[in-house]
């Protein structure tokens, strides 16, 4: 009886040790699998980086011009206005949204309230541990600038390969030009994996501030 108990304890100890040894490897494999399946994952851009390094060739002053010629121009972003978003229902998990600055500078953008009807703008990027996604907003209706309550908008989010992760339409529900605030209510549909076809409602509240006809803040 004592031998059986000793053998049992020995086998239990061996199993525990094996689990401790294998756990990191299994965890790493699981994380790699999740990363490969992440719709926001970065495409392989190693060849682009090598090409840029070759063209710049030790002259960092040429980098901006080289990137523009390659269609990789930088955008003016305000990381201090970043916000966290939970898009688990859309299959994207928890992400960080970094807005593109509203400014008259060419690398910025217009406020969504000051888009002319039919115009679209890249409003910012979503970031997670595996990659990024781009958020676009388009004004669909209205006659004047700025927009008015009731005007229609559309939104879409894509990864860097152009795959649509979610898209939908919305309406400007509130807009107070004096206070510089408003909100657009969207109904969007996911295009991601097991979440594909799921529809949720997103209300985006945005704040802008004007100074000498230049919008300087966007949240």
3-state secondary structure of 114: helix
31 sits in which H/E element: helix 2-37
Quote the pLDDT of residue 46.
75
Instruction: Name the one residue in this structure whose structure tokens are 């009731």.
Output: 150
Q: What is the pTM of this model?
A: 0.74
Length of the chain: 219
60 Cβ neighbours under 8 A, 6+ residues apart:
none
Quote the pLDDT of residue 184.
92
Q: What is the mean pLDDT of each run of 10 residues along the chain (219 residues)?
A: 57 64 49 62 78 73 76 84 87 91 89 94 93 95 93 94 92 84 89 79 65 29
Q: How far apart are CA 83 and CA 86, in angstroms?
A: 10
């Amino acid at each position: 009886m004592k031998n059986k108990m000793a053998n049992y304890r020995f086998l239990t100890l061996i199993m525990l040790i094996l689990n401790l040894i294998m756990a990191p490897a299994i965890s790493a494999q699981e994380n790699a699998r999740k990363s490969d399946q992440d719709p926001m994952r970065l495409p392989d851009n190693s060849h682009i980086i090598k090409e840029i390094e070759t063209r710049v060739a030790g002259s960092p002053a040429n980098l901006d011009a080289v990137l523009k010629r390659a269609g990789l121009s930088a955008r003016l972003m305000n990381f201090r206005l970043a916000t966290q978003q939970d898009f688990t229902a859309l299959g994207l998990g928890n992400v960080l949204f970094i807005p593109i600055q509203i400014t008259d500078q060419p690398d910025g953008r217009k406020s969504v309230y000051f888009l002319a009807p039919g115009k679209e703008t890249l409003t910012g990027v979503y970031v997670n541990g595996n990659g990024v996604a781009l958020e676009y907003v388009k004004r669909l209706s209205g006659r004047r600038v700025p927009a008015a309550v009731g005007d229609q908008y559309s939104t879409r989010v894509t990864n860097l390969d152009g795959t649509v992760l979610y898209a939908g339409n919305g309406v400007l529900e509130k807009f107070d030009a004096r206070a510089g605030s408003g909100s657009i209510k969207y109904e969007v549909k996911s295009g991601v994996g097991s979440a594909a076809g799921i529809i949720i409602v997103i209300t985006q509240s945005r704040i802008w501030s004007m100074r000498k006809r230049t919008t300087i803040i966007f949240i």
